[in-house]
Amino acid sequence: MSLNVDAWTKPDQGALFIVTGASGTGKTTLVKRALSTIPNIQFSVSATTRKIREGEIDGRDYHFLDIPEFERRKDAGELLEWAQVYKNFYGTLKAPVIEALNAGESILLEIDQQGAAQVKAQMPQAISIFILPPTMASLESRLRGRNTDSDEIIARRLKEAQDQIDHCGSFDYLVINDDLESASDQFMSILVAELLKSNRRNSWVQQFVPNKE
């Protein structure tokens, strides 16, 4: 997809996009392509309680919080979604997202189905997109083609993938990633169409339909 960035103006109100898909469906590749192509759209920076690693920067890679602070924010309703992964907590801070949306910036939030449901419960206006594999057999082939996991791990990943895919009917949009170029065009078409909706472009409405006295 070719976009004339010079002619693009950011909307008056940004959009929150939730992107979900099983491991191996290529959702991260689609997100990276969109971020490098569509202006005024950014990737959501998660909060975590895990220790900062060498080379990471607080606020860029993650918002690093200790466990008491994370739990305080969770209990105060300051998280759009959260989950515990082993001994660490991960989540999405609500305030930076809302601040960006009100400034006309849009957010891409790549999370699992459970996180997507949490975000939708708090922000029903968020746009949810589910990335599907062509078939479950092709997904298994992709996972095996990595040559990094044992049969046991692949079987677990496939079960987790099916658990995620079982909820795809509750999402606003579905994209089957059979051909990367086609899937990328479809994915970015969804983002652009949503960003051109009239309810995000009141300044354009006022420009062409001035208020009558």
pTM, rounded to two decimals? 0.89
CB atoms inside a 10 Å sphere around CB 44: 20
DSSP 121: H
Give 103-147 pLDDT, tens digit per residue. 999 999 999 999 999 999 999 999 999 999 999 888 888 888 777
Give the mean model confidence (pLDDT) for residues 207-213. 75
With pLDDT > 90 as the criterion, what percentage of the chain qualifies? 72
Report CA torsion sign: 149, 22, 37, 183.
positive
User: What is the Cα gyration radius of the chain?
Assistant: 19
Span 2-34, pLDDT tens digits: 666 555 678 999 999 999 998 888 999 999 999
Going by C-alpha positions, the residue among 196, 183, 200, 198 that lies closest to residue 19 is 183
Task: Return the domain boundaries, the chain.
Answer: 14-197
Q: In whole angstroms, give the CA distance from residue 53 to residue 42.
A: 23
Evaluate whether the domain defined by 14-197 bears CATH number 3.40.50.10860. no
